[in-house]
Amino acid sequence: MSKEFKLSDEYCALRDAASENLASELGEELARRAMGDARKLYWGQVNRGKAKLPLDATKLLQTIYSDAVEAYAALAAAGRLDDEGRKSHAEAWYYLAINAGQLGDKTLSREASRRAYVILEPWAAEPPTERVCEIIIYVLRSLAGTAQEDPRGVRIDEVNEYYAKGMRAIGYAKKRGWCKSKVRRYTALFDRTCGASLARVKPATVPRLEKSEMLLRAAVAELSAIDKEERRRGGCERSFTKAQRELARALRQLAIKRWDSSAQVGADRRKALKALDESARLLKRNQVLAKKRGQVSQWDYFQLAKVLRDRADLLDSASELSIAVGPCLIACRIVEESRARLQVEEDAEKRRTFFSTNLPIFDFGIYLMCREGVPDGAYELAQRCKSRTFSDSINAPLRASAADDLEREAPFNVSHAREALNEREALVEIHAGVRALTLMIVRRDRTSVAFLRLKNWPRERLEEKARRLLFLLSDPHCAKRTAMSEYLLKGLGTALFEPILEHLDGIDRLFVTPSYPLSEIPLGALALSSGEQLIDRWNLSLLPHSSLLPLLRGFRKRKGGSFLAFVPDRRLVHSEMEAEQIAREMGDSRILRGDDASKDQLAAARLKNVAYLHITSHGRFDASARDGAYLVLAGDSPQAQMLTASEIAELDLRGISLASLPCCFTGRGHHLGGDDMVAIPHAMLLAKAKAVLTSLWDIEEDVSRQLVVHFYQRLARERVSMAQALVEAQRWVRQRHPHPYYWGAFQLWGGV
């Protein structure tokens, strides 16, 4: 947080003093002080001309409002709040709801709105004051607008209830003397919010969509009736375009729903086409308005592409379908341009998750490209969706230039990927969309990308199966119970790879670019219907982004180079034994033990002549932590011992041919949404290592040692590729220990 936005020493002292007993006079003072400081901070930024508060200021406001809410709650529990105090308590929740919404935390925004309304509900039955009325209207609209955040889904009865209560509150406000434009604005906002929520109720029905259409038409009419200048001053311009966009979306859904449920005769088609044409007109009008304001929205173009797709389907026209591609590509370009404008430091988290939020747009573009018979375009869109999340997933400002180099060098043209492959290699790009999986296969001898869409594997279902599989395979106690894990391995393997076998004829090396969560399951252990596992068919390598394939192939192969091992904890007997055995195989070797195996030893000068870096230590994983997994090296303090993904990305590993990290959990990462991951192998590759060997879970030490030593023996004695050496080591262990718990955790990233 910047120095400009921090809690004052006086405030911190008051908070510390009040924390011992918030239900006291100090608690009352803290609540009042928090609300006062929040107002000063907010209006101080507004008066400086800040249309949108800086991220640090917004986060600080959330901290202050949380303090106020906590203090008021303690006072309420102790019975120390009068009516005005309870209203102030509700106001604190109200501001916290607004603040959480600005930070994108819809769950907290919904809960804060609910708490505010529960407190104010006794005053909602009678004409409340203007301020209370305004809060009630906002929180009810927030509850209706965030209905999809409810774990139970959007509930039609609740949305209708919020709407009825909101309209009653607006009626009270009208009696309180609100001006006509303000009443219209709030009425329109409520109509728009409730109409949009009704359109999202699943399953969609014609009556619900018709009510949604009615509310959204009313919202557009109310906002249209407000003077343009007044609409601009009141901040309603965006609400107007949102209302038109939601109306267009509802009309599109309604047209398709009516057509599907009709006898599908000519008259029905004409009605459906008429609704779609109106939807398209609304979206095009939005585009014109947005260009005048200089604030184009990707969602207007995205929805237009959907409308044009539906129109093409109704007419069964290929030429009409091709028209839909243009608006979708414009939407993709707007997403990329918007992300590029985000401030690097202030909006770092938003930059990392930006593509995740806009993933449906790229999904639809890939889908349209494939329907159009342009698989190369589908592949390149998938690359554009992933390209910047890879380098941005590591928050390492000192490595910004390296990240820029990667993006400049990253090819999005399928021909570059094809040229990097030989005749017996193939690249499998797996794009996990919101509702379907797309698999694209690139071969050197093919002029197009093979495409497959698995409609029954939405991301949520895939993530659920991946979590169950990872739990079953990583638990040594479950290793004795193989039925469920075999069922899941075969189910995933058959669904993902069986349909593309015809495209992989004659291939013995696969480079796989897996979307999350497939990057965290043992792909080599997946089975086909024949019972074969993937390691029986192919030598496997993983890539976080397929643009790395030609990039890594462009590096010169290093001749010679030594082996350097880190063994920070000498109590790990098998780890030290593993390092010693590998050192004997590799010749020119050095082992750093105990206190010598520290982060300082990873400096570039000390790695100058090292080709093989081997770190065998404890690995830790915390799914909620910023870096996910980390390594434990020698150091004077816990912080000094932790080697995180962010720190790895700052290293210079350009001379490292292989970084082997057989420690537990080094293959796991922190998921930021979409395909965005913060993980150690990604960081190693970003630091210019050529290959990384990782482990997904904690394996029985002696078996792990045998597998890793066998892997290095194959590299040193037979001079085979790293992918082949790993597969052969896994097969060798599988003969003695068939369950994938003992051998499936190891993954090779890179290693071209």
- Please report, for residues 18, 340, 505, the alpha-carbon distance to residue 347 in angstroms, rounded to integers and kept in the order given: 33, 11, 46
- Helix ranges (H only) for 372-458 are 375-392, 400-409, 414-419
Among 272-281, 320-329, 396-405, 716-725, which is the least confidently predicted range? 396-405
Residue 714: count other Cβ atoms within 10 Å of its Cβ: 21
More confident residue, 137 or 266: 137
Q: What is the mean pLDDT of residues 536-564?
A: 80
Cβ(528)–Cβ(494) below 8 Å:
yes
| DSSP of 658-702 | EEE--STTTT-EEEEETTEEEEHHHHHHHTT-SEEEEESS---HH
Model confidence over 430-473: pLDDT tens digits?
A: 888 777 778 888 888 764 555 556 666 667 777 888 888 888 88
Range 3-31 burial, b when 16+ CB lie within 10 A, else e: eebebeeebeebbeebeeebbbebbbebb
Token code pair at residue 456: 């029954």
| DSSP of 515-579 | PTTGGGS-GGG-B-TTS-BHHHH-EEEE-SSTTHHHHHHTSPPPP--EEEEEE--TT-HHHHHHH
Rounded to a whole number of angstroms, the distance between the first and last alpha carbons of the chain is 41
**At which residue do the structure tokens 């990308």 appear?**
449
Question: What is the chain's mean pLDDT, rounded?
Answer: 82
Q: What is the mean pLDDT of residues 83-89?
A: 90
More confident residue, 418 or 74: 74
On the question of pLDDT at 332 being above 70, the answer is yes
On the question of pLDDT at 220 being above 80, the answer is yes
More confident residue, 301 or 131: 301
Residue 400: what pLDDT?
A: 42
Residue 587: what pLDDT?
A: 84
Cβ(469)–Cβ(395) below 8 Å:
no
More confident residue, 295 or 68: 68
On the question of pLDDT at 677 being above 50, the answer is yes
Sign of the torsion formed by the C-alpha atoms of 449, 452, 458 and 462: negative
Q: What is the mean pLDDT of residues 113-127?
A: 83
Model confidence over 297-318: pLDDT tens digits?
A: 999 999 999 999 999 998 888 8
Residue 264's pLDDT band (cuts 50, 70, 90): low
Q: 4-8, 159-163, 527-531: which has the highest mean pLDDT?
A: 527-531
Residue 347: what pLDDT?
A: 54
Residue 244's pLDDT band (cuts 50, 70, 90): very high
State the pairing for strand pair 746-750/691-695: antiparallel
Among 19-33, 116-130, 722-736, which is the least confidently predicted range? 116-130
Residue 391: what pLDDT?
A: 52
- Please report, for residues 398, 412, 444, 750, the alpha-carbon distance to residue 418 in angstroms, rounded to integers and kept in the order given: 33, 11, 5, 16
* Spatial CB neighbours of 147, under 8 Å, sequence gap ≥ 6: 154, 155, 158, 159, 197, 200
Phi, psi of 688 (to 5 degrees): 85, 15
On the question of pLDDT at 207 being above 90, the answer is no
| DSSP of 378-403 | HHHHHHHHHHHHHHHTS--GGGHHHH
Residue 143: what pLDDT?
A: 83
Residue 69: what pLDDT?
A: 92
Burial label for 749, CB within 10 Å (0-12, 13-18, 19+), is buried
* Spatial CB neighbours of 29, under 8 Å, sequence gap ≥ 6: 14, 18
CA 722 to chain centre: 31
